[in-house]
Structure 1
Amino acid sequence: MLRDRRIAGLLLGDLLANVGTGMLLVAMPVQTLSLHGSVPKAIAIGLVEAAPFVLSTVLALAVGLGRVRVPPRTLLVADCVLRSATFAALGVLAVTGLLTLPVLVAGLLFGATFRLAGSSSRRLLATSAAGEAGRFSVNGLLGLNTTFALYIAGPVLGGVVVATAGAGFALFVDAAGALILLACVPREAGDRDALREEGTPESGWRILRRRPVAARLLVVEFFFNFLYMPVEVALPLYVSGTLHAGASGLGVLWGALGVGAFLGAALVSRLRNLPQRPLLVAIIGLWALCPIALAVTGDLTVALLVFGLGGLVYAPFTPVAYSFLQSGLAPGEQQQVVTLWTTGATVAAPLGLALGGPLIELTGSTGGLVLSGVLTLLLLPIAARAVLGRKTEGNPACASA
């Protein structure tokens, strides 16, 4: 796959852009805690974490549910340009001491308008260039990019930058990553393949209704992600309170998740021949144990081991799920369904974060971690019934997965 310059360039840009985003996992909670004023800490963190998903969800739903097709390359370019300009402006305000919590929330809200559409466009362009034979490998490489950048390099660098220069400088790095990705967008992209269809365009939801297994898996993934999000709100408070560590401790903990996720993503290609549906259900059950184990330990070393194992377990979920989904789609169905799927899976984030703030404020960081894990365990039998039941339903590609 990497011999194709279009794929290699896009994967490199994706990796570097995600490093900047990974730095914000550490920097934005720290920045928020310095700005929250009279707003409760957990509520403020939840608002900042949720802001990038709101407008981006609205736009992505319009693409996924509507019949108007926008070339993936156009959406990706728009994402890079808007994100780089807005985040650079936020960085200037942060380092000059003029940034306030409302401005930060508004900037993240506006600057990430094309976030979900851009994310699905990266996948569409890369998998379209790779073709059907290379789709599983490219999805695996995208997953490897995400786990390494978001959970290893990004958080570790974010902790270093926050400790040495201040949280605001991480915004500049993310803006620079968006510019690098813009330079890597192929000029002769696979837009025509991704958009090709015959007759009247269909919405992503109508297409999913013909593939009930994929539709049910989307519902399961929504709740899986929804129940995970309180962990992101609880983690900064858990690190500073229970573990008595600072920004560097939070960065190292995210890094441990990333190391495990990197190993898990690197093993994705070895899972190609395993039954995909039972694998996805098993991942949900094993991940649920992670936040519960975190809650019962007050030792940073043990927490690093637990979070690392959690990353190892979770990493294959996304590439396997996307390969499962795309295997049953015609070229003209890819954009609307992949965008809708990405949105449905990701819209759980702002909703989970919005719930996570009050939940963590009420139960505390360790109580929120336990509740997240227990509710995910309760999702397990529902997921098994939805994904494993009636295997002959839908198209042949889905039935054989």
Structure 2
Amino acid sequence: MLRDRGVAGLLAGDLLAGAGTGMLLVAMPVQTLAIHGRVPVAVAVGLVAAAPFVLSTALATVIGLGRAGLSPRTLLIADCVLRALTFTALGVLAVTDRLTLPVLLGGLLIGSVFRLAGSSGRRLLATSMAGDDGRFAVNGLLGLNASVALYVVGPVLGGIVVAAAGPGVALLADAGGALILLAAVLVSAPRDAGPAGGRPSAGESGWSILRRRPVAARLLVVVFFFNFLYMPIEVALPLYVRDTLDAGPSALGLLWGALGAGAFVGAALVNQLRDLPQRQLLIAIVGLWALCPIALSVVGGLPAAMIVFGLGGLVWAPFTPVAYSFVQSGLAPEEHQPVVTLWTTGATVAAPLGLLAGGPLIELAGVTGGLVLSGVLTLLLAPLAAVAVLGRR
């Protein structure tokens, strides 16, 4: 796939942009801890983490449920431009110590309007440029990008940058990453790239198409709860590092980096899993990942926590590429955009809901209790997923 210059260019831009976004995994909690004011810290962290999903979920839902298609290339360009402008403004305010929690939340709401639509657009562009034979490999490479940039390079760089220069510089770096991805799209993805030649089409909505594929619809429900039950971990992690590990931003970056290192190995092996039964593989991933937060709750040192999170990343990484390849495999070209956009929205809407629930949960149950509860509920999801996905063909 990397021999195709267009695909390689788009993936390279995605990798570099992901590194900027990965820096925010460290920068956002640190920035929130500095400006949360009278808002309980866990609630403030949850609100900041959830804000980028609110308006973007609404827009992506309209696109997925609607019948009028929009060019994936156009949506991705809009996301890059708006994100670059917004995060530049937030970064400048943070560097000059004028950023407040309401302004940060407002900026994240507005700047991420096209976030989900752009994410599905990036996947649609890459897989359509690769063709049917390259779809599984490209989905795996997109997962590999996320593992390397979002969870290895980004958090490690974020920990260093935040410790040395403050979280505002990391916000500016994310704006720069958006500009790099914008350039990659303009250069590498032709105007006619995308399903059905990149032309907006009027036809069935994503929901109507999914109704004809009930297993895919039920799998979407499983993915929703899998993501929902994961989100309290993101709220708990900065507090876990601060209180349980008694460490700072660099340790938080190392912990995310450990997850990414494991995910890198798991994502690199995705193409080797293409001949395995995909439904059973997805269910196994759900059950094995559930053990990660449970194990994390009982370790008290950074090296042990990194090992646990690294193994969790190894198990988790193949989930998204396998799920998307499974869904896309039975679609006509003109059906990809509404279905993938709706699928991305349904899978991702769990994030703000899980984060909003995670704040009060961590406040009430504590860091350890929240991690255990996340793992136990995810473990209970595995047999339910087996019934939903395997019970009826």
TM-score w.r.t. the length of structure 1 is 0.96
Superposition deviation, residue 188 in structure 1: 3.5
For the pair 1:24 / 2:24, whether they are aligned, the reply is yes
**Are 1:194 and 1:335, in contact at CA under 8 Å, matched by a contact in 2?**
no
Q: Percent of counterpart pairs with the same letter?
A: 74
> Which one-letter code corresponds to 2:86 in the other structure?
T
Task: Give SS of 2:113's match.
Answer: coil
**Are 2:81 and 2:182, in contact at CA under 8 Å, matched by a contact in 1?**
yes
Superposition deviation, residue 192 in structure 1: 5.6
**Are 2:255 and 2:306, in contact at CA under 8 Å, matched by a contact in 1?**
yes
**Are 1:195 and 1:334, in contact at CA under 8 Å, matched by a contact in 2?**
no
> Which one-letter code corresponds to 2:167 in the other structure?
A
Partner of 1:397: none
Partners of 1:234 and 1:312 in 2: how far apart?
21
Task: Give SS of 1:380's match.
Answer: helix
Partner of 2:255: 253
Task: Give SS of 1:244's match.
Answer: coil
Superposition deviation, residue 4 in structure 1: 1.3
Task: Give SS of 2:384's match.
Answer: helix
Task: Give SS of 2:62's match.
Answer: helix
Pairing 1:230-309 to 2, within 5 Å after superposition: 230-309=232-311
Q: CA 1:119 to 1:197, structure 2 compared with 1: closer, same or farther past 3 Å?
A: closer
Partners of 1:66 and 1:26 in 2: how far apart?
36
Superposition deviation, residue 371 in structure 1: 0.3
Partners of 2:197 and 2:98 in 1: how far apart?
43
Partners of 2:313 and 2:54 in 1: how far apart?
26
Partner of 1:3: 3
Superposition deviation, residue 5 in structure 1: 1.5
- Structure 1: which 5+ runs fail to align? 392-401
Partner of 1:329: 331
* Superposed CA offset, 1:34-70 (max 9, x none): 0001110000000100000000000000100011211
Q: CA 1:194 to 1:302, structure 2 compared with 1: closer, same or farther past 3 Å?
A: farther
Partner of 1:319: 321
Partner of 1:97: 97
Partner of 1:40: 40
Partners of 1:191 and 1:306 in 2: how far apart?
39
**Are 1:125 and 1:194, in contact at CA under 8 Å, matched by a contact in 2?**
no
> Which one-letter code corresponds to 1:25 in the other structure?
L
For the pair 1:386 / 2:379, whether they are aligned, the reply is no
Superposition deviation, residue 196 in structure 1: 6.2
Moved over 4 A (4+): 194-198
Partner of 1:108: 108
Q: CA 1:356 to 1:194, structure 2 compared with 1: closer, same or farther past 3 Å?
A: farther
Superposition deviation, residue 187 in structure 1: 3.1
* Superposed CA offset, 1:335-384 (max 9, x none): 00000000000000000000000000001111100000000011111101
Partners of 1:67 and 1:151 in 2: how far apart?
36
Partners of 1:84 and 1:181 in 2: how far apart?
10
For the pair 1:220 / 2:226, whether they are aligned, the reply is no
Partners of 2:36 and 2:127 in 1: how far apart?
42
**Are 2:151 and 2:256, in contact at CA under 8 Å, matched by a contact in 1?**
yes
**Are 1:195 and 1:333, in contact at CA under 8 Å, matched by a contact in 2?**
no
Partner of 1:394: none
**Are 2:65 and 2:338, in contact at CA under 8 Å, matched by a contact in 1?**
yes
Superposition deviation, residue 191 in structure 1: 3.2
**Are 1:125 and 1:189, in contact at CA under 8 Å, matched by a contact in 2?**
no
Partners of 2:287 and 2:364 in 1: how far apart?
26
- Structure 2: which 5+ runs fail to align? none
**Are 1:76 and 1:119, in contact at CA under 8 Å, matched by a contact in 2?**
yes
Q: CA 1:96 to 1:261, structure 2 compared with 1: closer, same or farther past 3 Å?
A: same
- Equivalenced residue count is 390
**Are 2:73 and 2:191, in contact at CA under 8 Å, matched by a contact in 1?**
no
Partners of 1:321 and 1:213 in 2: how far apart?
12
Partner of 2:374: 372
Aligned equivalent of 1:190, options 181, 184, 193: 193
